[in-house]
Amino acid sequence: MRFDIDTYREIADSLVRNKRRSLLTGFGVFWGLFMLLFLIGGGAGLKELLANNFSGFANNTVILISSNTSMPYKGLKEGRYWSFEYKDVERLRQMVPELDVVAPMISAWSGSVAYESRTSTAGVKGITADYDKVETSKMKYGRYINEMDVEQERKVCVIGKDIYNELFPDGGDPCGSYVEVGSVHLQIIGVDFNSGNMSINQRASRSVCMPISVASKLYHRGTTVDILCLTGKSGVKMTTLEDRMRQVMARQHNFDPKDDQAMLILNTQQIFSIVDNLFRGLNFLIWLVGLGTLLAGAIGVSNIMMVTVKERTVEIGIRRAIGALPQEILMQIILESVSLTTIAGSFGIVFSTLMLRGLEMIAKSTFQIGFWTAIVAMLLLVVLGVIAGLAPALRAMHIKPVDAMRDE
């Protein structure tokens, strides 16, 4: 068989055609890695956004709210309303020792606060110093309510971020200023910049917190309180304590322990568990979709390399005829496959990072992939490249010069 200029021109044309196919196949790898990393970064950013809504709120909190009974009990009719008392705090501490914090609260859901000529709507909370362990404050100015404020019935308050911005638009430290809450004037001792959206009565940014002893007199509560906020000690699952807490309150306030409507229990631990399970499932779906797309791209690479080997049979035969070893042919095809997947994947990493950066600017949250995530993605691309090129490489390695000349 004589190899003339036309033969070599045909080989060159074949390489050009393969490059065009490689671009199309590389796009499949690029798109697969982009989808995987963009979904990973997007999922992480979405989780952070949701976590910000729970910012500062203890994840092992139980909130007890008294309500109307739905069942008759010991001669008492259904529909009877009852209220918590200050003594219930000590009862729960003694009868349920697994509890860490038992913080009573008096709430006014539609309050207002005024400073000079400016007013703002607010959720007014009468609290104890322990409440800071339930909804952790982020003090910008001043301090939080302490035990001495409660014991001495000091007329002081802590205001939230939104209220501070509305009442003090010029900024500055407002501590020492007096605001009007209802019929009393309270001195500001702190500004809480907690921006979480999960809270009791009203989110922290729109709350005015005062000592519970002051709120009790302001709203004529006497010995009753509206809500009990509880947290468990480390390692305690609050769901295991719900029945005991209900029995303690039922025995003291004369309602059926089986009456779920008489005392409402809001367990934030269950909410956080639901959120964690949701994102665990979301991450599984992200990896399933991303890896599926990547696998489709790798199959495309394998197919294009198979076509490449078939069209380059003459070239491979010539190389074998002039002394190329089978291992050299094998490594050439695998390296071409790895190069194709790696280059396409690199563009996918860069493009996904840029898109996530744009998403960050819009959502004001962290939508980015970690460094090691990108490294693992590149290693995955190398592995897929080797696997995709293995079958075509083995086929090329077994091409004999005589068979190549016969094909020609």
Which pLDDT value is given to residue 68? 92
pLDDT tens readout for residues 51-110? 666 666 667 888 999 999 999 988 888 899 999 999 999 999 999 999 999 999 998 877
Mean pLDDT score, 384-399: 71
Mean pLDDT score, 33-45: 79
pLDDT tens readout for residues 318-329? 666 666 676 777
402 pLDDT higher than 60: no
DSSP character string of 244-276: HHHHHHHHHHT--TT-TTTEEEEEHHHHHHHHH
CA 126 from chain center: how many Å? Answer: 31
Mean pLDDT score, 20-37: 70
6 pLDDT higher than 60: no
Mean pLDDT score, 117-142: 89
Which pLDDT value is given to residue 212? 94
Taking the CA of residue 182 as centre, how many other CA atoms within 13 Å lie in the half-sphere pointing to its CB?
A: 21
Q: Which of 380, 276, 351 is nearest to 41 (CA)?
A: 351
Which pLDDT value is given to residue 140? 92
Residue showing tokens 């699952």: 237
Which pLDDT value is given to residue 4? 47
Cα 313 from Cα 350, distance rounded (Å):
36
Length of the chain: 408
Which pLDDT value is given to residue 333? 73
The more confidently predicted of residues 406 and 72 is: 72
Which pLDDT value is given to residue 187? 95
The more confidently predicted of residues 199 and 281 is: 281
398 pLDDT higher than 90: no
Cα 180 from Cα 207, distance rounded (Å):
14
Torsion of CA 25, 29, 30, 31, to 10 degrees: 100
Ranges 253-257, 321-325, 373-377, 381-385, most confident = 253-257
pLDDT tens readout for residues 192-239? 988 766 667 778 888 999 999 999 998 888 889 999 999 988 888 888
pLDDT tens readout for residues 155-178? 999 999 999 999 999 888 999 999
Which pLDDT value is given to residue 248? 92
How many C-beta neighbours within 10 Å does residue 390 have?
A: 16
Which pLDDT value is given to residue 9? 53
* C-beta separation of 10 from 314 below 8 A: yes
**DSSP-based helix, strand, coil % in the chain, nearest 5:** 55, 20, 25
What stretch of H or E contains 141? strand 139-142
For strands 99-115 and 227-232, give the pairing. antiparallel
The more confidently predicted of residues 56 and 387 is: 387
Cα 273 from Cα 235, distance rounded (Å):
14
Cα 312 from Cα 390, distance rounded (Å):
16
Q: Which of 10, 6, 24 is nearest to 340 (CA)?
A: 24
Mean pLDDT of the chain: 80
Whether pTM exceeds 0.75: no
